[in-house]
Amino acid sequence: MNASNIVLYEAEYQRLKSILVKTQRELGIDLILLIDRDGHQIASEGPAQDIDLTALSSLAAANLAATDGLARLVGEPEFSILYHQGKHRNIHISDVSRRYCLVLVFDEKVSLGLVRLRVKHTTAYLEEVFKLFARKTETKKNAAVPSNSPSPFDFTDEDIDKLFGR
Amino acid sequence: MTFINYVAREINCKLVYYGPGLGGKTTNLQHIYQITNPENKGKMISLATETERTLFFDFLPIDLGQIRGFSMRFHLYTVPGQVFYDASRKLILKGVDGVVFVADSQEERLDANLESLSNLNLNLKEQGFDLNKIPYVLQLNKRDLPNALPAERLKKLLLVKGEPVYEAVAPKGVGVLETLKAAARQVLVELRKSA
């Protein structure tokens, strides 16, 4: 497996999800979304059904990447937090371990100060979990695919052809 | 960087359409959007200027179907082709799994193609990739224009490593899907190799 690829298994997902659930409930926000810096969704929680999560993930990652570029231009190592204030809804985007990104969507009833405080704590919990995952990945045997999960990489050239309807 | 999600049973890959300004990168994505079933595509996002020139990127998530119970999802991005948007191009290449170079076949755009190809090489290196190793497809677009150079001449000048080449007329959809398939196939084969 390419070391730069991100692999998400059930146990890891459940741990990440439980952290998001706790933060979402405590803050009463519309949405909390964890993505990687390339804009892939990892986990989310919240009642906001009207938001296209794929599009939000891509735009939030791009937004954070562009902000990183701005930071470097003015001699800062990073601007790790982005906040967009709207009439009714606000978005808070922040870095997690330089590889992931946390996106919160909330309305005017939620205090920004509280959001910032909770994001700090949530980020620390998530970073702990990601550290554990990284260690697990290093010890290859623990990172192996669970035996009850078929590897998605056993595909043949014919499987690819079928994908394209040939 | 591929994201392999065992929970959602998805493999997510990133494909970037690169090339000179006004070469047809956005038109490629628009055609793919038009011909893809609604259940297999997400919203297409274009961050463009008021004159419809790509300012940051276009984004189109598509689902190519399932292999061994896993959905093969591709995130298609274009870069802004204009020379002065280089900082944006670098950002979009981060974590790329494959590249499609959309060349403009018109004689007067030859230098722009060569400049963009050299820029791709440089920017990939900066992101830790090697153009000679990464999945890569060359598309010769605008083949229907009277001032298009012969395909053989363009191949001689633009081929990097014997990559697949497709002649295209993107607004009519000619060669668009073939290009995408070739690039996606290379990404999947590469993924299998690295697994």
At A2 the pLDDT is: 59
Q: Of how many residues is chain A composed?
A: 166
CA distance A96 to chain B (A): 17
With 0-12 / 13-18 / 19 or more C-beta atoms within 10 angstroms meaning exposed / middle / buried, residue A77 is exposed
Tell me whether strands A6-8 and A31-36 are parallel, antiparallel or unpaired: unpaired
At B26 the pLDDT is: 96
Number of domains in chain B: 1
- Of residues B49 and A143, which shows the higher confidence score? B49
Residue A81 has pLDDT above 50, yes or no: yes
What DSSP element (H or E) covers A107? strand A100-107
Please indicate whether, in this complex, the C-beta atoms of A152 and B194 are within 8 angstroms of each other.
no
Residue A30 has pLDDT above 50, yes or no: yes
In Å, how far are A151, A158, B69, B70, B74 from A154, measured between CA atoms?
6, 11, 11, 11, 19
Can you tell me the ipTM of this complex? Answer: 0.83
Across all residues in chain A, what is the average pLDDT?
88
- Of residues A164 and A64, which shows the higher confidence score? A64
Please indicate whether, in this complex, the C-beta atoms of A58 and B59 are within 8 angstroms of each other.
yes
Please indicate whether, in this complex, the C-beta atoms of B91 and A66 are within 8 angstroms of each other.
yes
What is the SS3 assignment for B11-57?
EEEEEEEECCCCCCHHHHHHHHHHHCCHHHECCCEEEECCCCCEEEE
Give the structural domain span for B56.
3-194
| Complete domains list, chain A, with CATH | 10-143 (3.30.450.30)
Is the CB of residue B189 less than 8 Å away from at least one CB of chain A?
Answer: yes
Is the CB of residue A113 less than 8 Å away from at least one CB of chain B?
Answer: no
Judged by DSSP in three states, B140 sits in strand
CATH code for the domain of B63? 3.40.50.300
B-chain residues near A5 (CB < 8 A):
1-4, 194
Judged by DSSP in three states, A63 sits in helix
Residue A140 has pLDDT above 70, yes or no: no
Q: Looking at chain A, which residue has its C-alpha nearest residue B191?
A: A153
**Nearest CB partner across the interface for B194, out of A2, A152, A162:** A2
pLDDT string in tens for chain B (195-residue length)? 889 999 999 999 999 999 999 999 999 999 999 999 999 999 999 988 878 888 889 999 999 999 988 999 999 999 998 888 899 999 999 999 999 999 999 999 999 999 999 999 999 999 999 999 999 999 999 999 999 999 999 999 999 999 999 999 999 999 999 999 999 999 999 988 887
CA distance B181 to chain A (A): 7
